[in-house]
Structure 1
């Protein structure tokens, strides 16, 4: 599985053998040259529709239409007119508009008193019928031994991720978690206290200084797509960083600067990144760095700011 082999041959220091020494801070070479052929700037000149199709290609809508028709047939739904990719594009477009307007009831978008004429592109009854039958896979072809909780949306997940991986990386990158707000019924839904959106889907993301996303992992508990051996060696947080760092290593470019917070930081993970010429910095928990000779939290709180 991607995320393990690039760091499998790194010689790691055993935790008991780690010894800290006070030495002058060494200057690190941070020279970095972007690879030729950067097309990220082209996206700034695209229309919103063209930009959308970069991530969700029209071919995916044709496949969605096929599986939606199959599901309607499997359910024995009466009076279901077969759909096509173009109609499902309208369906998705209306969903995007709903996300922007945020009315309390779905049927209100067709209320004539509100004058939302663009919702006339599809009748309310047809919208609900497609909504209730929309599928991206054939349920009957699903392997029951598969533990992937996201198999029903895997095609759209892979399409978005594929485009993210095609973007040219910046020098300064960050790994962090992001909550996608959601309070409905979902097996991968998480609750994280202290977040602006406490309920939702947790996604670990590799992003650039510009805000662009270059890769991501959707958290789904024990079945999260990170190799078990990687987690045993580096811990879950460190494994997330190294899994997403595979994207950096594959470019062949050196001296990318990667940042993360204390949830991800540990000694062996930093050691592995250094071996692959990925510069890294992160806030640290002393118990994850084999008791470095730093001031305690109580001592730091007594100091002046900065």
Structure 2
């Protein structure tokens, strides 16, 4: 059973290697194939060895020029937790959500959901609280013996479930079919944009080191 705020159920390693003297992958693989011929017959066709050429000039790169960011970290000393949140999830996000949820509800039922920015902020605050307490069922936050005033005193159970069933950040009718096919994150694109904008405000150096163990990779590389 998931224990996140939204997912709760109602029942609910760097060594630089000089590649100048490395043999092509095709050569290595062909040697392995020759050694394995005695063990089992191979039905694959012999491929022509790849020709490697030395490149002395600069390597092409798609990485843009580095743009420095002013170090304003001193101003963060007096920030409250909500100030940090606003840097990544500003007030505009909740305005967009309220508008999208209300208009979508009108299109579907003929009536407005009548939610507001303040109510949505309360909704997400309650959801964060639930993710910390981790009750097995959402309804328990309103039950008499397990009641949590921080939750129950600020929103009724029915209202919480109603908002929980209809989260919207954009109105689907405002997004063209071409945009939907082009952007798989179109439903949350505004939020992603605000998060990236907040990250770009962080001070950063031009030269950084990344431990490859931090980046899991399960794909394939091509020679």
User: Normalising TM by the smaller chain, what interval?
Assistant: 0.5 to 0.7
TM-score, length-scaled by structure 1: 0.45
In the other structure, the counterpart of 2:173 is 140
Alpha-carbon shift at residue 262 of structure 1 (Å): 7.4
Higher relative contact order (CA 8 A, sep 6+): 2
Show structure 1 runs of 5+ residues with no match.
1-12, 20-34, 172-252, 265-287, 291-306
Show structure 2 runs of 5+ residues with no match.
1-19, 21-50, 56-67, 216-220
1:258 aligns with 2:209: yes
Q: CA RMSD in A?
A: 3.1
TM-score, length-scaled by structure 2: 0.61
Inter-CA distance 45–123: structure 2 relative to 1 (3 Å threshold) = same
1:64 aligns with 2:97: yes
Alpha-carbon shift at residue 81 of structure 1 (Å): 4.4
Alpha-carbon separation, structure 2, partners of 1:123 and 1:107:
10
1:116 aligns with 2:148: yes
Alpha-carbon shift at residue 263 of structure 1 (Å): 9.6
List 4+ stretches of structure 1 deviating above 4 A.
none
Alpha-carbon shift at residue 260 of structure 1 (Å): 3.9
Return 36-45 or 82-91, whichever deviates more.
Answer: 36-45
Could you tell me whether the CA contact under 8 Å between 2:102 and 2:115 is conserved in 1? yes
C-alpha distance after superposition, 1:174-219 (max 9, x if no partner): xxxxxxxxxxxxxxxxxxxxxxxxxxxxxxxxxxxxxxxxxxxxxx
Alpha-carbon separation, structure 1, partners of 2:185 and 2:124:
19
In the other structure, the counterpart of 2:163 is 130
Between structure 1 and structure 2, the one with the greater Rg is 2
> The residue matched to 1:126 in structure 2 has which SS?
helix
Count of paired positions: 156
> The residue matched to 1:43 in structure 2 has which SS?
helix
In the other structure, the counterpart of 1:160 is 195
